[in-house]
Structure 1
């Protein structure tokens, strides 16, 4: 794998099998772990990669009368907390 840190971001090479490695810093920042799925999307300026699915249990412990917007807000807050915890564990 070859990485290039510049103002455009990091680059990695595609293997013969069409595989790519997502840089460690980006996996940590966006909470990507082994087994997670990513979605490849066409964009006007190239290709965009996004995490394909959220946790299957997302929203299970929230009362039924909580709005979808509030559920999404709560889930995003939890994801940010988890991401911060993971980042702090990875730093020496």
Structure 2
């Protein structure tokens, strides 16, 4: 349930340098901390902003219905496969 006051707390301005501040309620809700990377994505109706994860780039090729947990699992499997291929290909 969203109130007008709640929406007011989620409006920020863009600085001269193009910087924005993510409102504290949203930082808290999504676990965003100093140093975290944010992924900006152009969509058909605006801009989507989300916390970047190790698999964020790879996740762009996965259907939007796939959960973040499944994306992370898939990324870990891919990393393990790549490590195994490198180990076997580069063995003297």
TM-score, L = length of structure 2: 0.50
In proportion to residue count, which structure has more helix? 2
Give the TM-score normalised by the residue count of structure 1.
0.50
Q: Which structure has more RCO (C-alpha within 8 Å, separation ≥ 6)?
A: 1
